[in-house]
Amino acid sequence: MECRQGPANKNCPCSATGCARHGICCQCVAHHRAKGQLPACFFPKDVELTHDRSIERLAATFEERGAWWKARK
């Protein structure tokens, strides 16, 4: 799959500052996949802020909150 280079996604939920891949989804997914992780957009905001992007954390969140969670305040 070719990564299309266009304007960065302004709706990117990632809280990492200074990331060169911020808002460039195909690069972000490839980066996290290579590290055995998932990108920020897979997680509710409160979990994303922990920067634990592991598959295990996603599974635990899914188990705890169900398929369609709402971010806790």
pLDDT value at residue 56:
95
Please report which helix (H) or strand (E) contains residue 46, including its range.
helix 45-48
pLDDT score at 73: 47
Per residue of the chain (73 residues), what is the pLDDT tens digit?
A: 577 667 788 889 999 888 889 999 999 999 999 999 999 999 999 999 999 999 999 999 999 998 776 655 4
Q: Do the Cβ atoms of 39 and 25 come closer than 8 Å? A: yes
Identify the pLDDT of residue 49. 94
| pLDDT score of 1 | 58
Query: What's the predicted TM-score (pTM) here?
Result: 0.76
